[in-house]
Amino acid sequence: MRSYRLFCLWLALASGSALAAGSGQTGALLFGLFWVVLAAAVMGTLASKLGIPAVVGQVVAGILIGPSVLELVRPETFFLTLAEIGAIFLLFMVGLETRLGELLRVGREALLVAVLGIALPLALGFGFGLWQGQTNVSALFVGTALVATSVGITAKVLQELGVLGERFAQVILGAAVIDDILGLTLLAVVSGLGNGEELSAAQVGLTLGLSVGFVAAVLALGIPLVRRAQPRLQRLSLSRAFNVALVVGLGLAALSTVAGLAPIIGAFLAGMVLAEVKDEVAFESKVHAIEAFLAPVFFVVVGLQLDLGTLTQPTVVVAGLALTLLAVVGKLLGGLLGARTLGPREATLVGLGMVPRGEVGLIVASLGLGAGLIGETVYAEVLLMVLLTTIVAPLVLRAMWRRERLVQQAP
């Protein structure tokens, strides 16, 4: 009887969605948002009860309510924008739990993990593309898709596990920031080559210098400024302190796009700056409240964008599985070699943390398809790689961490 009532409720709401879609855009968007939030809550809770990271359940929720299965929600501009804001608040919150001093202690390992985690997947992806008979530019773009790392997904898993203060987690976060800087520079170069542009070393150096300079300037100037302003911030009410935090977070997220970086990097840096005074200025709870609402939307929309219909051809599945294996091996080796000073177990955790491609991989694949740099078949292969690394890597990371804790607690 209970199942029958739930089915009737689902049928009524689905009918309401259809009526809203026909009657006006606002109604359709509200129903769409309703389905996104409901699916995220239900599947996230179910995943947690099964011992699976909630983000995996939320990505699966997006697949279920999206165009591939139930067709309740489509990845329209509104949801894509809301998801990006969700990612911004997620990384802002992660930044608030990360202090610069902690990252600097793992700076060498983070740099090595990032560089190796770019070089190895790029080489493997490029070789795979050439083996398939693709052009040099198309093969290079496949390699670029393998370079991408979704720091949002891994950061949420680390947050759920409560290990953001662990050394291996700091290496992952530091490497992810460096990965984003180098990866986006590489994407700009490859896109330029695909458009027939002649890119000079000076142009590439300028792009890289601007990105690195932005990160350095934010941390070098922002932290002393916020420490100096601490007495004034402490006198503010909770609402006003939260408004200040909001302005800093969104402002740096916007400025990071001017520097050629993803807005999530600016949000992460803003969180790191404000982390220096969060113990004295109570605004974290309000930021967490917004993040708790918007971050699940981000993960559901990742699932919405995955079109399972493109993965029906056996040749695509086989090639996609091979590409997934290369994607995992490249990042895993990067972690093992770059973070070997942490020991084999924690170095493996670092490598696994860099595996999920998530929304970053989707963006790279979409850009390649839209620019004509890769065809529909290659796009579907990359899509399968993104789907598998996004869902499987967090599961393995969580299982590995639990095993590591048991080893540490053993007498």
Residues 6+ apart with CB under 8 A from 246: 287
Does the predicted TM-score (pTM) go above 0.85?
no
- Using the predicted structure, report yes or no on whether residue 19 has a pLDDT greater than 50: no
> Residue 179 corresponds to which tokens in the numbers above?
């990965």
In this predicted model, which residue has the larger pLDDT, 192 or 9? 192
Q: What phi, psi does 371 have (nearest 5°)?
A: -85, -5
Q: In whole angstroms, what is the distance from residue 200 CA to residue 212 CA?
A: 19
Mutual angle of helices 151-161 and 284-304, in 10-degree steps: 130
Q: Tens digits of per-residue pLDDT, 148-169?
A: 787 777 777 788 788 888 888 8
Q: In whole angstroms, what is the distance from residue 324 CA to residue 234 CA?
A: 49
Side-chain-side CA neighbours of 14 within 13 Å: the count stands at 11
- The most confident of the ranges 38-52, 117-131, 348-362 is 117-131
> Residue 87 corresponds to which tokens in the numbers above?
């990612």
pLDDT of residue 195: 60
**Annotated domain spans of the chain:** 77-303+312-398
CATH class of 77-303+312-398: mainly alpha
- CB neighbourhood size of 63 (10 A): 23
- Using the predicted structure, report yes or no on whether residue 396 has a pLDDT greater than 60: yes
Q: Confidence class of residue 3 from pLDDT cuts 50, 70 and 90?
A: very low
Closest CA to 13 of 42, 45, 56: 42
Q: In whole angstroms, what is the distance from residue 209 CA to residue 278 CA?
A: 31
Q: Are 338 and 121 in contact (CB under 8 A)?
A: no
Q: What is the mean predicted confidence (pLDDT) over 364-377?
A: 72
Q: Tens digits of per-residue pLDDT, 20-51?
A: 555 567 778 888 899 999 999 999 899 888 86
